[in-house]
């Protein structure tokens, strides 16, 4: 496909994403970062982990996005007494016919909100994350593939620890992005109060696109051009989390216990392509990589006790890497 054709397709489908963002914004105030990360997940097939306190419209965002795409939405509230069958489904015995039938769980949907995933025990987390990775589940002897698009947005509370089961590093690595959602600004919070508690009718979300169009846009994102220098820069940023000394960042020696795997390089490049697409460009720039690097890396980097004792956070380390790795 030549340049004019790809530019034409990018213009067409990025306009679709703009309509989608604007439609969701009719109901939501602020949270542009959350909506942007969800769109990047949709456009790349990657799942998103959101960390933020309750009451920041996470459920409303996903359900509004599902209505605007005219697709299915499922919300799973995780609790410590859940079983894997409560998520993926199970076989039910019919005593009259002496046969088993499959009862599908809430994982069979297009957009899924896994609320407070860290409240679920390890077996439930493993069942969900395996389904996310394989895009299919096996119930009894039957294997069921999920319809596309398939996106899991999981949330976890960063403050409350009682009764929670933190996700192991190997499992949290299944998420493409981990976005931190903060409180709205004072101006945005006033708009939220006026809109939701002002006595006026709350806007209804209309369908502005379809799952088929999202999948077509995903195919266009894969064709976004990425220069070799940008690919090398992406790899250098990720490798700096594993070997700061070779990246000539001496100040980070003994700060990182475990760095990001090659999966992070793949996800970071894919996310950079989606970011460029959303901005209407047919090529990836270092700015795209730097913009998404914190969300791709923060749940894949484990700091040493020494770094934590010095008050360093994962975001501080990632920011320091981005400041010191040479930009092409």
3-class DSSP state for residue 136?
Answer: strand
pLDDT band at 302 (very low <50, low <70, confident <90, very high): confident
Q: Cβ atoms within 10 A of the Cβ of 298, count?
A: 20
% residues pLDDT > 90 (the chain): 17
**Per-residue tokens: 42:** 């949709």
| Span 175-188, average pLDDT | 86
Q: What is the pLDDT of residue 40?
A: 92
The backbone torsions φ and ψ at residue 250, rounded to the nearest 5 degrees and listed phi first, read -60, -30
Q: What is the pLDDT of residue 127?
A: 84
What distance in Å separates the CA atoms of residue 294 and residue 323, rounded to the nearest whole number? 12
What distance in Å separates the CA atoms of residue 60 and residue 296, rounded to the nearest whole number? 24
- Mean pLDDT over each residue of the chain, to the nearest integer: 84
Domain edges within the chain: 3-214, 224-324
- Report which of residues 151 and 6 the model is more confident about: 151
Q: Which residue has the tokens 């997940």?
A: 41
Architecture of domain 3-214: 3-Layer(aba) Sandwich (3.40)
The yes-or-no verdict on residue 161 having pLDDT over 80 is no
Q: What is the pLDDT of residue 228?
A: 93
pLDDT in tens, 24-82: 888 877 778 888 888 999 999 899 998 877 777 788 888 888 888 888 888 888 888 88
- pTM metric for this prediction: 0.87
Topology of 224-324 in CATH?
A: Helicase, Ruva Protein; domain 3 (1.10.8)
pLDDT in tens, 239-283: 988 877 666 576 777 788 888 889 999 999 999 999 999 988 889
What distance in Å separates the CA atoms of residue 108 and residue 85, rounded to the nearest whole number? 12
Q: What is the pLDDT of residue 165?
A: 63
% residues pLDDT > 70 (the chain): 93
């Amino acid at each position: 496909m030549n340049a004019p054709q790809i530019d034409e397709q990018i213009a067409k489908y990025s306009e679709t994403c703009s309509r989608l963002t604007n439609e969701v914004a009719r109901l939501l105030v602020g949270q542009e970062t959350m909506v942007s990360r969800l769109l990047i997940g949709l456009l790349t097939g990657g799942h998103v982990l959101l960390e933020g306190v309750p009451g920041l419209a996470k459920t409303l965002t996903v359900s509004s996005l599902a209505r605007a795409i005219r697709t299915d939405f499922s919300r799973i509230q995780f609790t410590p007494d859940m079983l894997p069958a409560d998520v993926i489904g199970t076989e039910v015995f019919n005593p009259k016919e002496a046969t088993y039938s499959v009862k599908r769980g809430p994982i069979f949907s297009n957009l899924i909100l896994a609320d407070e995933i860290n409240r679920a025990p390890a077996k439930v987390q493993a069942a969900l994350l395996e389904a996310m990775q394989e895009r299919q589940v096996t119930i009894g002897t039957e294997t069921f593939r999920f319809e596309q698009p398939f996106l899991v947005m999981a949330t976890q509370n960063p403050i409350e620890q009682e009764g929670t089961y933190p996700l192991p590093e190997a499992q949290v690595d299944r998420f493409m992005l981990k976005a931190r959602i903060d409180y709205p600004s004072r101006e945005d919070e006033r708009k939220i109060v006026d809109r939701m508690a002002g006595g006026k009718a709350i806007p209804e979300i209309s369908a502005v696109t379809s799952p088929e169009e999202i999948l077509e846009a995903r195919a266009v994102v894969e064709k976004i051009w990425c220069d070799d220098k940008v690919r090398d820069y992406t790899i250098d940023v990720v490798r700096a989390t594993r070997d700061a000394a070779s990246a000539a960042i001496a100040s980070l020696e003994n700060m990182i216990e475990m760095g990001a795997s090659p999966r992070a390089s793949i996800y970071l490049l894919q996310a950079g392509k989606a970011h460029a697409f959303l901005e209407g460009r047919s090529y990836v720039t270092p700015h795209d990589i730097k913009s998404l690097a914190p969300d791709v890396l923060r749940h894949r980097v484990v700091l040493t006790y020494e770094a934590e004792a010095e008050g360093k956070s994962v975001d501080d380390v990632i920011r320091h890497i981005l400041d010191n790795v040479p930009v092409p």
